[in-house]
Structure 1
Amino acid sequence: MYLSNIKLWNFRKFGSNEIFIDLSQPNLDLNFSKGLNVIVGENDSGKTAIIDAIKLVLRTHSFEYIKVEERDFYQDRKHLRIELLFSDLTPSEAKNFTEWLGWIGNNESAEPYLRLVYEGKMKDQRVLVGDIKAGVDDEGSVLTAEAREYLKTTYLKPLRDAENELIAKKNSRLSQILLGDEAFKGKNKDHELVRIFNDLKIQLEKYFKGEFEITNGDGQVIHCPQEGKDIKQKIDNYIRLFYGSDIYNTLFEATSNDMKSVLEKLTLSLANDSHPGLGTLNRLFMAAELLHLNKAKWTGLRLGLIEELEAHLHPQAQMQVIETLQEEKNIQLILTTHSPNLASKVKLENLIVCDQGQAYPLGADYTKLEKTDYSFLERFLDTTKANLFFAKGIIFVEGWSEEILIPALAKKIGLNLTERKVSVINV
């Protein structure tokens, strides 16, 4: 299954001056492709609004608290609506949403789809939180918590702290990813890792009791360190003084060793790089999330949302990452970017241009380009020429001299092309 369409009414930049919502006239009606979708556009063009609307309805795997706020309503409107449509459900996916499914076609050719609806309202300067509903009619019925678990999305925020997500800590993102993998899922006590940590827990407790033994190859005890016991006795003395009683003793013990606790002790890093930079950590984080999206035996949605994929990445690294993501077949990715490097490497059918509260897919179904135009343009659009996706205006020139002279001549007559967001494209 994949997210095939989103419709928005009065959400952020996507709204109208009409007082009431007209369900036949959404302010945004955008189709997505099955695999990679890259949304480009200038700041405040609506890219993040699309990502946030999806997150708001589906929630994420990262335990984020997401709710509608006053700023989510278009201007002074009091009612917003989000609709999401999911297509190409396999039987194993469709069984999770049986009572909410709609059907396209008849008899054996009928194909199921799932439609989700969320409505938010403002009353007396207060946001009224609605339920996530699903169904074929305009209202739908409430989606159960169990069904919603199958629809959660993976989200990587723009200024992501990859290092913090990959280090050992309580509820680390790394532990969440691993807990969902078949290697660890449902194996809370009966797993090799749990047994390893249980043995360590016993040895740690013995160390602070002065009972830990170091043996040689023949099993003979050669040393029984007492440093831990000394530390414990010093703390015990203070505790007894604080309580005025000899009945109190301290106990050093390792934390509980169920599977979740064990995985929270793990840190992911590169074996050959002891001090990785932000770009390396970012790629490592994305690799871990792709493991999560590709987990086996999962019968729910496999959707990743990544804002500003280029964050902390060198231009060549950006191209390498986007080429890899473009080859992914079993997951859907919706990305936003400000990088011409990425735009130059993405197939046109995977690009969506946002501008002034509208979104324009560049797939063959949405343009007047011929098939041969697509193959030519994808060869033609290098990093420099891909600037046209980010410009407010374009001047096409036929040579290097014109590319250099036009901006200089424009300045002479008082026009700064950079300030006006006009790109000069040499064809």
Structure 2
Amino acid sequence: MYLKTLSLYNFRKFAEREDSSPGLTVHFNKNLNLIVGENDSGKTAIIDAIRYLLGSLSDDYEKITMEDFYCINKDEFAKSFIIEGIFTDLNEKEAGIFLEWLSFDADNEYQLRVILKAERKTNENGKEYIDKKILAGEVNCELRLNSQARDLLKTTYLKPLRDANSELKPGFRSRLVNILKAHPIFQSGESNELVQVMKEANTKIEKFFQKEYTKGHSLIKDIENVLSDFYDNTDLKKSKAKFNVSKNDLTSILRRLSLNTEEINLGLGNQNLLFIATEMLLLNRVC
């Protein structure tokens, strides 16, 4: 199966037309597709619409914002938008998986229609929020697409290459974490070995800083002595401290990792290739 058409209704710069037809409909080829256009012509909107509709294998959180709604004028935005994708060329196995959401095209062939509907609403406290629904099925007969079915539609998304360098750095929002956690080595229980390595490393680091450089003094004791001045006698246990590299759970360990080549002072182009290589791990996992 492949995504045959993508239609946008009131999504970003593509307003729904007066006859209720989409502001933009993109027709895709079965294999390779290239999107070419001038700046601000809507190329990014097409890519982001696919991401919002299908999600990504690395499970990035895609937050819908006010700027995703068509701007009617400077201070007024559309109340809702719809992204619609039509999948075609389903084989029998795929048709069986999506059976309850299937319909038929003009040639009486299977097709899967998936839509994302985002609507601006106001709660009881008067605060506006965005209600997001992923549905599938024929027009006016849509049903919610369950999480298992949605997982089968997820895509591999390569972020803009200008961001590649930051994506491989350690941190709470590191994309490298999601890529690595999806790899079979961590799906098969091998993570226990990495966790054990980190436990041993933390133990050695802790002992290193406990070494006395003069009698009765170590670096960690010096820190604790200063801390103890901030607490009374009943709270002295709060002044206890220790050094470690990471907590001993897999996610915390992976958040500390960065990925670099063995060469130094490489340009952005090489960093881009390294980033693409890691992203391809996700695609290979599916294939």
Q: Under TM normalisation by the shorter chain, which class is it?
A: 0.7 to 0.9
Deviations 1:69-99 (A, max 9, x none): 2553264655533211223445665565443
Q: Which amino acid aligns with 2:63?
A: I
What is the CA deviation profile of residues 5-31 of structure 1, one whole-angstrom value per residue up to 9, with x for unaligned ones?
A: 21223333433551x62xxx4333322
8 Å CA contact 1:84–1:116 kept in 2: the answer is yes
Asked if 1:150 is matched to 2:152, the reply is yes
Work out whether residues 7 and 25 of structure 2, in 8 Å CA contact, stay in contact via their aligned partners in 1: yes
Q: Among 223, 226, 230, which residue is 1:235 paired with?
A: 223
Following the alignment from structure 2 to structure 1, what is the Cα–Cα distance between the partners of residues 70 and 61? 21
**233-242 or 253-262: which moved more?**
253-262
Q: CA RMSD in A?
A: 3.3
Cα distance, 1:207 vs structure 2? 2.0
Q: CA deviation at 1:188?
A: 7.0
Q: Tell me by how many angstroms 1:200 deviates.
A: 1.2
Bigger Cα displacement from structure 2, 285-294 vs 192-201: 192-201
Q: 2:70 aligns with which of 57, 70, 73?
A: 73
Count of aligned pairs: 272
Q: What is the match of residue 245 of structure 1?
A: 233
Query: Is the contact made by 1:10 and 1:80 (CA closer than 8 Å) also made in structure 2?
Result: yes
Deviation per CA, 1:42-68, whole angstroms, max 9, x where unpaired? 122221221122222223435334215
Distance of 2:172 and 2:7 partners within structure 1: 37
The amino acid of 2:69's aligned partner reads D
- Return the letter of the residue paired with 1:174: L
Give how far 1:186 is off.
5.2
Q: Which runs of 5 or more residues in structure 1 are unaligned?
A: 211-224, 299-329, 331-427
Structure 2: distance between partners of 1:7 and 1:114: 14
CA distance, structure 2, for counterparts of residue 256 and residue 71 of structure 1: 38
Given the alignment of the two structures, is residue 275 of structure 1 paired with residue 265 of structure 2, yes or no? yes
Aligned to 1:131: 133
Q: Structure 2-normalised TM-score?
A: 0.78
| 1-structure distance, mates of 2:49, 2:98 | 21
* Deviation at residue 185 of structure 1 after TM alignment: 1.9
CA 1:198–1:35: 2 relative to 1, 3 Å: farther
In the TM superposition, what whole-angstrom CA distance separates every residue of 1:203-251 from its partner, at most 9, and x where no partner exists? 12222333xxxxxxxxxxxxxx758x61111112112222132843523
Q: State how 1:42-81 maps to structure 2 within 5 Å.
A: 42-60=38-56, 61=58, 63-69=60-66, 72-73=69-70, 75=72, 78-81=79-82
Q: Offset at 1:135?
A: 1.3
8 Å CA contact 1:187–1:259 kept in 2: the answer is: no
Question: 2:125 maps to which residue?
Answer: none
Aligned match of 2:275: 285
Secondary structure in 1 matching 2:30: coil
Amino acid corresponding to residue 86 of structure 1 in structure 2: F
TM alignment of 1:64-213, pairs within 5 A: 64-69=61-66, 72-73=69-70, 75=72, 78-89=79-90, 97-102=98-103, 112-121=110-119, 129-158=131-160, 160-185=162-187, 187=189, 189-190=191-192, 192-210=193-211
The answer to whether 1:36 aligns with 2:27 is no
Code of the residue aligned with 2:113 in structure 1: it is: R
Q: Partners of 2:213 and 2:222 in 1: how far apart?
A: 13
Q: How does 1:245-324 map to 2 (within 5 A)?
A: 245=233, 247-248=236-237, 249-254=239-244, 255-271=246-262, 273-295=263-285, 298=286
Structure 2: gaps of 5 or more residues: 123-127
Q: 1:157 to 1:68 in 2, by over 3 A?
A: same
1:4 maps to 4
Instruction: Confirm or deny: 8 A CA contact 1:62 1:173 kept in the other structure.
Output: no
Displacement, 1:178?
A: 1.0
Q: Answer whether contact 1:68 1:127 (CA < 8 A) is retained.
A: no
Between 249-258 and 198-207, the greater mean CA deviation after superposition? 249-258
8 Å CA contact retained: 1:87, 1:113? yes
Higher relative contact order (CA 8 A, sep 6+): 1
By how many angstroms is 1:183 displaced?
1.3
What secondary structure sits across from 1:42 in the alignment?
A: coil
Give distance in 2, aligned partners of 1:266 and 1:38: 34
Q: State the Cα distance separating 1:120 from its structure 2 match.
A: 3.9
Q: Secondary structure of the equivalent of 1:183?
A: helix
